[in-house]
Chain A
Amino acid sequence: MHPPTPTGRRERARRPTGRPGISWAIPGVAFFAFFAAAPMFLVAFLSLTSWDGLGSPAWAGTDNWTRLWSDPGMRTALWLSLLLTAFSWLFQTPIALLLGVWAAGRQKSRAMLSAVFFLPLLASSVALALVWRSILDPNFGLAADVARWFDLSDANVLGSERGALAAIAFVAAWQFIPFHTLLYQGGARQIPKSLYDAASIDGAGTVRQFFQITLPQLKNTVVTSSVLMVVGALTYFDTVLILTRGGPGDATSIVPYLMYETGFQAFDLGYASAIATALVVTATGVSLLMVRLTGFSRMRSTREGM
């Protein structure tokens, strides 16, 4: 068990000095626990209180939760969030997948294009939402020009309920597709060339190669990207605040915006905490469900048996 070689003895002897203790991790862990992990529990506690942001929170029991359960505003917000999430996923995934697989090739034009693709990733969502706000302005924006060309009566996209929601989905897609493209590009680069070579020899066409090699091999990437997309879409906030402020009416008042409005406009922070808790539960639930359904946790590698 303990080989009496000099090496073995030395190894045991220097272990206490050579390796850092776990205490090295304490500052980082404590910092993260204090500002991010503990608030997760604190928000659940605050949802059981009534608090206007100035005094100290007063115990309110399950008042906020019974109110949440029967609040039509929350129901609308949840529905809008799910709608926006589903719509975002359906819109972003095919485009990002196609672009990513294409960008995984080695064309020269790729380098030039990637600089342009990258710009939306670098800018803040505030900056991008402001650009789109100016473009969609019904009087002086590009939307006004487009309406003139096609002789449309109304250029006010953000003024109509469906138009506003679609605009948010589109602007978010415009902003996030480059990121997901990068994910798919990385995934597609890791697919062994030999699979395509073998398929070509067997006479498989390109469409078949895409569906039978590329797509199955990208399964892990699809799950990763989808989870990030769904959780991201559930938490769009900056874009909503700047483009529509939840309007018209409450047509774009998704859950995070409802939370902001309740908490920091109406200063009903206890009730807003209940909304936030519901948001965490929904986001975690949806992403766990997706991971389960796709069997991501079971799947260790798409290249088993090769």
Chain B
Amino acid sequence: MTTDAPPTENRRAPNPPGGRRSRRGRPALGATPARRRLSWRRVNYPAGFASLVWLFIVALPLYVLVSATLRTRQDYLDNGALSLPTSPSVDSYRRVLEGDFLTYLLNTAIVTAACATLVIVLAVTVSYSIVRTRSRASRRIFQFFLLGLAIPSQAVIIPVYLIITELHFYDSLMAIILPTAAFALPVSVLILTGTMRDIDEEIYESMALDGATPLRMLLQLTVPMSRAGISTVGVFSALQAWNGFLFPLILTQSRENRVLTLGLYDYVGEFRVDVPALLAAVVLSIVPIFVAYLFARRQLINGLMGVGGK
């Protein structure tokens, strides 16, 4: 490292952690933070190297994925997975879109939207009741959902199959929506109770003075104040629905009720030797989430962290 590296690092970091920012202006103390920063940087070298290695491990399959879709079937078979697409073509995407892909996409969109709506409505009312009703019962309900976090969906797939067939929902989009939403509820309740607890009690009290009903308080105060939590829950449950595989696999059958993940699984047989088309379908299934990620990055991270952050 050259001698002027620490100040460069200093300029690069827009938000130095801790109290460094306030000290930066004081030349008398300048030497100490610089030395500290130096030691912090030394911590990062081995781990930084490891992350570069990991970056390579993550990026290589992604490169294979994208480059394969831009080549013809014959080109892929002849030149292997790593060669560059010399004459890029989107033919493989066309082959995918000519099939039932758009049906699968539409089904997935319906399932995702319905699931997110259902989860938001149920999680908001449950969390509102837990946070605002201070009773033994509300604590019990919270613990119930906390325990519910631990239920693996695979373990209950057989009884869920029984319930869905008894309800005559087998092989319908409803069969996917209901259990998927149920399994997204515990995390959502956890996230939302966390957000709603931060709302100031005094605002509720002043609203109550005006004679507001619980419903009006929910709609005018709680929901607007917990927008961040609600969007996190929405994004989280949408991701669960979009990527879910087990429930569609067991609970649906026909082609017109097929969602994307199941469609991809089916393509293995259909595009047996047409790897570019198979991978094009994979790319097409990821693109919508990736676009959503670009717009709702924070909510997505929060939603993902909500799973284990508690």
Contacts and interface: CB of A to CB of B under 8 A. Distances in A.
Interface stretch (B89-97, B225-233, B242-250): B242-250
A133 B65 CA distance: 11
Contact of A127 (B36, B77, B286): B286
A22 B250 contact: no
B48 A102 contact: yes
Interface in A128-152: 130-135, 137, 140-142, 144-145
Contacts of A108: 12-13
Interface in B260-310: 260-261, 264-265, 267-268, 275, 278-279, 282, 285-286, 289-290, 293, 300-301, 304-305, 307-309
Tell me which of A36, A46, A103 has the highest count of chain B C-beta atoms within 10 A of its own C-beta.
A36
Given A18-B217, A117-B58, A134 B305 contact: no
Interface string B50-71: 1100110111111011001000
Interface string A108-130: 10000100111111111111001
A200 interface: yes
A130 B308 CA distance: 27
Main secondary structure of the interface of B (DSSP, over half): helix
Contacts of A242: 265, 268
Nearest to A42: B159
Contacts of A122: 239, 286, 289-290, 293, 300
B65 A141 contact: no
Contact of A28 (B157, B163, B189): B189
A225 B214 CA distance: 38
Given A22-B137, A39-B160, A40-B155, A124 B308 contact: no
Contacts of B60: 142
B279 A280 contact: no
Nearest to A7: B205
A51 to B, nearest CB: 8
Q: How large is the interface on B (under 10, 10 to 19, 20 to 34, 35 or more residues)?
A: 35 or more
B74 to A, nearest CB: 11
A91 interface: no
Nearest to A127: B282
B268 A130 contact: yes
Contacts of A235: 152, 154-155
A43 B156 CA distance: 6
Contact of B208 (A18, A35, A118, A206): A18
A81 to B, nearest CB: 12
Closest 5 pairs (CB-CB, A-B): A102-B47, A18-B208, A35-B182, A124-B243, A28-B126
B122 A28 contact: yes
A20 B214 contact: yes
Contact of A29 (B68, B126, B157, B264): B126
A25 B36 contact: no
Given A20-B214, A120-B58, A134-B279, A228 B307 contact: yes
Interface in B173-215: 178-179, 181-183, 185-186, 189, 204-205, 207-209, 211-214
Given A130-B278, A280-B155, A18 B178 contact: no
B59 A22 contact: no
A228 B306 CA distance: 12
Nearest to A33: B144
Given A132-B61, A174-B58, A235-B154, A18 B214 contact: yes
A126 B261 contact: yes
Given A95-B54, A179-B307, 13 more contacts: A18-B212, A21-B214, A23-B129, A28-B123, A39-B159, A40-B151, A43-B158, A108-B13, A116-B59, A122-B290, A123-B243, A142-B81, A280-B155
A21 B50 contact: no
A66 interface: no
B42 to A, nearest CB: 5
Nearest to B265: A126
A259 interface: yes
Contact of B133 (A20, A125, A177): A20
A105 interface: yes
